[in-house]
Structure 1
Amino acid sequence: MDFGFGDEDEAFRTEVREWLTTHADGSQDRRAWERTLGKSGWIGLGWGEGGYGNRTATLTQQVVWAEEYARSGAPARSGHIGEKLLAPTLLAHGSEEQKARFLPPVAAGEELWCQGYSEPGAGSDLAGVRTRATRAEDGSYRISGQKIWTSLAHEADWCFVLARTDPESRRHHGLTFLLVPMDQPGRIEVRPIRQLTGTSEFNEVFFDGAHARAEHVVGGEGQGWRVAMSLLGFERGVSTLAQQVGFAQELSEVVRTAVRTGAVADPVVRALLVRQWAELRTMRWNALRTLGSSGDGGAPSVAKLLWAGWHQRLGELAMLVRGAEATVGPREWDPSAPYALDAPQHLFLFSRADTIYGGSDQIQRTIIAERVLGLPREPKGVV
């Protein structure tokens, strides 16, 4: 693909920068910010002309928006799961009624979503899902089970849940993709998971007979695996380039720290810094090369393998260039100060999970081996 930015893209970039400069207010809470984005038409740029989103944008303009947003320091998004994962999935597999019901509130920033995939015994192995959904007399479903590592579940209005509707099924058979309202007191419980960083971006979600309507099955009963795999293809795309903008900012800070501490005088450290820079450029070129593909094959898995390991190494390098000061925080200098991590410490600790969440490195390599290279499938149930 010959990817480049033309005059129209640069004019769009100017518009984006001016809008973000005027409207990006760090004092807004995340839900209010989503409504601000929706009111100005910035949600759903890649949904096409179906009438469900706001303004439309070319692929290059979507990249411009994502990169400029990352550079602007605007608030972290809480609506991206609905916009980037649920919406493309409904556009591909949903009924017209489902699109009309769920896409406009996402585009307006009014309804937030979370993803009910991973489970305690099936983190990256979605075929091992044990959450059950059984039919009630009125045709609706009753869901029982547990999901884990559920981002933004404490804020979400809805959750798309992968559940087993055929109790006799095994592995990827008999799974169904359900749209479940989170406001079900006594039937859905959300428990935050405290992480190494002291924060709680992830949650455990417990379903105890939670209701899902029959018309909120996406793609048909028993077709959940097909829908879920399609969704994972949407998970990486334009947003990968925006993510790399953040990576570049983190790398620049590590370089500045290396200069400040004198660590840059060490030839080994210099070599590591150059390697990080070169690999980040390679990731960008790879992302641009695969942009606009259908998401089939191994491109998403290759991208995940590349950035996860790279980001972990950056966190380690951030600690290395700081030396002994990397091990202490405000409380060590001032006993009355609250416990807190600075940005490099947070980077180091949080990035330990990069090679696990969103599909572990082992799972990504298996996908590449089996689906792209055509190697024999990994035996299941063998220790």
Structure 2
Amino acid sequence: MPDMEEGRSRQRILTFAAKRYISAIERNPEDPDAYYNWALVLQESADNVDPNSDSSKDSLLEEACKKYAEATRLCPTLYDAYYNWAIAIADRAKMRGRTKEAEELWQQAIRNYDKAVQLSWNSPQALNNWGLGLQELSAIVPAKDKQTIIKTAISKFRSAIQLQFDFHRAIYNLGTVLYGLAEDTSRSGGPDTSPNDLYSQSAIYVAAAHALKPNYSVYRSALRLVRSMLPLPYLKVGYLTAPPADDPVAPHKHWERSQFILNHTELQQVNDSESAPVKANALVEKAKRFIKVDVADIVSVSTCSDLTLPPGAGLCINTTHGPVFLVADTWESLDGWLDAIRLVYTIFARGKTDVLAGIITG
């Protein structure tokens, strides 16, 4: 009963607020803020509607959208209006399942997130929501269009994470979209990336989201599903082209493609070249010659297109001991390494290394 009474009280406040904004518009029909605030009130009123009453919720959201449209017509640079308008459209789309009407609404929402990001590029939440909208759209469009939309969604989630390294929702969402892509690839046999690679990538993001927010049950459940897809006891294993450990600016001919492992504490080169087998005692045998970066020493991680590097997708890890330069096989592979190293560092910086350690070594 208290919740119901609180809801009624809140609705009375919203109704009163709406009347104020209507009066403001009557006094000045060219006031974008009045339209924007009225739209917010309508949108919140829609959230207060009986969950079983889709029609009244939808009509309130539709009215809110009209007010946002008017606000942005009067003030085309109103970021918040585009952002909240997109949310309102997305809520309307969710009520329509996987229909043509839903598809059109998702496309509208995506256009508004696009506009919001154009107006305020430093908006990880808008990028994350944009990615979610694309993910929803990909489930409706014809199969031939799906992969392009999914890849765009991946880029939006990744951009959101690059703006806010500990944005666990975007990290988790990137994991889920990669998992879905892995499922699609395993069914259709897509040519670009093996499903196992995609599953492994997906697991990295889910593990990172869980490490950052260990109490989130959704992340915990997802981790149970994907943990075995990690290259345990490591988070990531793959190839990078590296200079000799004792000569980071060696001539290109001395750089070799070799295997690297990343766990919760370090990035470590594990053998001199791809032709050399990885032995259990390889780390002991040649540790002094191997490149090793302690996560605790990392200052920043970035792409690098320095001409002194061999051709390819350059990676620079700035550490307290100086920069470490490596080259990934492809730009797509580089994205994976950048994210993984940044995530491990972010988890360390947030004091959650023990959670990540439990995931990969437990």
| TM-score category (smaller protein) | under 0.3
Q: How does the TM-score come out when normalised to structure 1?
A: 0.22
TM-score, structure 2 normalization: 0.23
Specify which structure has the higher proportion of helix. 2
Could you say which structure has the greater relative contact order, defined with CA pairs below 8 angstroms and 6 or more residues apart? 1
Larger Rg belongs to: 2
